[in-house]
Structure 1
């Protein structure tokens, strides 16, 4: 059970909630803050003060005053009209993360919603009722309006939810679970959809997967180093201490740990003076990816605990400010940065695949084939890896440098952060496939060199993975092997 307070949520806690399905509770202080914020909104309504989003229209309609008797219709119309997302659905785990993040933001006590709203969100999370949310339609400013509107629909008994992975009518599931939907009151619809929770939720899941992939890339690279009888000297601690990047030093340390006791690695001058960059520079390149991951994690954890709707209510309602915390630029940059960093893990991995299969670059059988010529072996797996890294280069183009005006130019600069997060997710999936291909080729190379000479930790992995992917003794449908290794490398599969 994880207590949500609005200011202390971590990636590790989100992993436990969203992947391990741990339940949440709301802290007493946070609920007190929510209730005080709500009293401020009710005072604004009863005193007939004009405040954006409470008794005005939205966006370009912000100058349109709404009568008190129409305030509930205003919120309902907002949710229905903004629920115009299109395309494939966000993975269910992202939908769950979106709900948790939205709840945590409301618990900061700046949004003016009733306790009924946060209690219902908590109940839906704990009962694993996850909204079906289309991925496309957010500009990443004014909040993730379209995706979050689809989330909000479920709270009012509309829209769809996942049931055994399939979309079904939300009201049907709510009725079956005896969960009562709510009627949105003043400001509540706007508070639910004005925020960056779609891009941040996708970003959190991307980060969790990318972090695991970065760790996996190291032992896979270590296997490749053995298969090519690589030079261990390049990983000597003094080399990396001389540069000073702690992440580079840590990668070198882990590479040495994986390779400890190996009889397949070599020393400078034994077989060659130095290795190609894709082997020699593993700590430098992978370490730079880890630098990026650290940056991304920091930004995601800040945003996971941020008040990102508009307007925000301070000082018991004496100060209500329309600002722009819904603008997703920080997460847009972080996701674009993540895209580049993970694409580079795939780029260098594909180059190691080439060194494993190209007979001009090693002393292994051509394309690792058991019968070169008659059988193609791993030849076309390298083609697939090359195709994936090329696709990643297109996806890695920054989304955050784009902007397009909306709402009659009232909202004239947007972040495209959700697009960046979605593309980052695609790059993570592509890169896992590339590393799966490297893993298959490295296993085969180590098998040819003698797996009994492998480092103890790598030998243990080699034997386990041979149960997943048998040695290549004849050509076969290798897409099945790639898929099998990919599943091993996937930290969780509920989102698939």
Structure 2
């Protein structure tokens, strides 16, 4: 057998336990290859063990604990015979194995595992130390449960998708490991890891929480943060190509309307525009240029409170019931309700879709010879008689319009579409996971629009420079040079799909360092 590899000993790691985890740390694990380690503070382990011991004491004294010696949900009035209590957690994991749709990718799956581990490590869930260790093994060995995206209404948390995490811990269903889909039991055996046997509350503790929606929210937040920066750079480039008025972004102007994110966006755009250019065609540029800081600023400002709420959820105990390890009090409630994540994701997809609409409008100005101030129709780089058969960015603009329309269509809030489920026990639910999935789709579509605008603004500036000397700041010039290394000047029509997809990948990987001087 292969000996287990201790990833935490061979790479950078993030400590879980007795500290607040950040969105950035979740991403370091999910995207950056970091491992996790459980805190070695004696008080942390003592807190975990104390919670598990308190629960065991309640059961020994014939206490009634929801989901431990009662049925689940509407079946909470059904008492479980003592001899069957140990079997109940496994039944919970199995009957929730009914998810459908696409499967979460590796990045999202790792984020889910981290979010669930961190929540259980708060010490209120009455799980045993070996369960936390088993979750760290899944993360550090990259044993990734095959989690379907669809099937959660966001309360009682992400029950169905998280059942796939529970199944992997006990050696059931399939996992992705080293690029292959394999039975979980086989992978655990190959690493000399024993499947755990769930203690009475542990199935519920794993599944009855908000880890999936919170993980997706972490990923969405980071993508939106980067995309908002990119929109500033592309607005500056569109302004250069259109001979726009730098004064629209003057800090003195924005001091009169002091929304912090709006001022930040304006300052970035202003810094990207050279003060050497005197070629102003219009006193006031069209709104998609002039009002870009106002559009982007909404996202920038919203990211602050969204980070607060996402990280609060990330660092919360969100299953039910909870056991206070300090007092021994058993607390029944509804912390599995993902309303804060649902609202944040519904709001973020709205803000991001507005970025798509902004960039789509900027692209429409660039390709239209009635509005682009002397650039060629559709930004075609072809000249002479061949200009008649070349169409430049005509189809790209159509595609961007389609992607934008789909993004705008998805802005309907998911959180208002609560459905009564489970015999009207779950009669008001958050829809947080659906909201988060919608948000990620809107981000993908908006990144596609951004890819089109990257290529179009580079083409527009190149065409402008053929006409006249066009001063560029060092940052914008370096950005254009990097982009041109991935996509050559478009003189003769060619299929652009591969280049667009490549730019989408570069955006997802945050290829360009943007405004690090803030």
Fold conserved between structures, TM > 0.5: yes
Give the counterpart of 2:289 among 276, 279, 285: 279
2:415 corresponds in structure 1 to 400
* Residue-by-residue CA offset, 1:248-288 (whole Å, 9 max, x unaligned): 1111111122224564x74xxx4211100110011111011
**Cα distance, 1:30 vs structure 2:** 2.5
Secondary structure (helix, strand or coil) at the match of 2:388 reads coil
1:429 corresponds in structure 2 to 444
In 2, Cα distance between equivalents of 1:123 and 1:350:
45
Aligned pairs for 1:306-325 (under 5 A) are 306-316=316-326, 318-325=328-335
**Cα distance, 1:167 vs structure 2:** 2.8
* Residue-by-residue CA offset, 1:154-195 (whole Å, 9 max, x unaligned): 000012211344432212211222211101011010000000
Contact 1:92 1:132 in 2 (8 A): no
Give the counterpart of 2:495 among 468, 472, 477: 477
| TM-score computed with the length of structure 2 as normaliser | 0.92
| TM-score computed with the length of structure 1 as normaliser | 0.96
1:3 corresponds in structure 2 to 15
1:158 corresponds in structure 2 to 172
Alignment of 1:378 onto 2:390: no
Change in CA separation of 1:230 and 1:165 when aligned onto 2, cut-off 3 Å: farther
Aligned pairs for 1:93-112 (under 5 A) are 93-112=107-126
Alignment of 1:367 onto 2:355: no
**Cα distance, 1:317 vs structure 2:** 6.3
Contact 1:33 1:107 in 2 (8 A): no
Contact 2:153 2:429 in 1 (8 A): yes
In 2, Cα distance between equivalents of 1:162 and 1:240:
51
Contact 2:118 2:314 in 1 (8 A): yes
Contact 1:112 1:313 in 2 (8 A): yes
Contact 1:31 1:107 in 2 (8 A): no
2:431 corresponds in structure 1 to 416
Give the counterpart of 2:305 among 283, 289, 295: 295
Number of residue-to-residue matches in the alignment? 489
Alignment of 1:439 onto 2:449: no
Q: Which runs of 5+ in 2 are unaligned?
A: 1-12, 512-518
Change in CA separation of 1:457 and 1:382 when aligned onto 2, cut-off 3 Å: same
* Residue-by-residue CA offset, 1:292-323 (whole Å, 9 max, x unaligned): 22222111111000110000002556321210
2:95 corresponds in structure 1 to 81
* Residue-by-residue CA offset, 1:84-120 (whole Å, 9 max, x unaligned): 1111001211111111111111111110111110011
Contact 2:208 2:320 in 1 (8 A): yes
Change in CA separation of 1:401 and 1:262 when aligned onto 2, cut-off 3 Å: farther
Structure 1: 4+ residue segments shifted above 6 A:
none
Change in CA separation of 1:6 and 1:324 when aligned onto 2, cut-off 3 Å: farther
In 2, Cα distance between equivalents of 1:245 and 1:203:
24
Aligned pairs for 1:169-184 (under 5 A) are 169-184=183-198
Contact 2:142 2:177 in 1 (8 A): no
In 2, Cα distance between equivalents of 1:317 and 1:287:
46
Change in CA separation of 1:163 and 1:127 when aligned onto 2, cut-off 3 Å: closer
Q: Which runs of 5+ in 1 are unaligned?
A: none
In 2, Cα distance between equivalents of 1:8 and 1:410:
33
* Residue-by-residue CA offset, 1:202-235 (whole Å, 9 max, x unaligned): 1111111111111111112211111111100010
In 2, Cα distance between equivalents of 1:166 and 1:203:
27
Secondary structure (helix, strand or coil) at the match of 1:324 reads coil
Contact 2:318 2:335 in 1 (8 A): yes
Alignment of 1:233 onto 2:247: yes
1:15 corresponds in structure 2 to 27
Change in CA separation of 1:439 and 1:308 when aligned onto 2, cut-off 3 Å: same
Change in CA separation of 1:358 and 1:381 when aligned onto 2, cut-off 3 Å: same
1:347 corresponds in structure 2 to 357
In 2, Cα distance between equivalents of 1:12 and 1:141:
26
Contact 2:226 2:510 in 1 (8 A): no
Range 120-129 or range 138-147, more displaced:
120-129
In 2, Cα distance between equivalents of 1:222 and 1:80:
54
Range 280-289 or range 28-37, more displaced:
28-37
**Cα distance, 1:125 vs structure 2:** 1.1
* Residue-by-residue CA offset, 1:139-164 (whole Å, 9 max, x unaligned): 00101000100111000001221134
CA-based RMSD of the aligned residues comes to 1.5
* Residue-by-residue CA offset, 1:387-439 (whole Å, 9 max, x unaligned): 01110112111000111111111111111110000010000000000011011
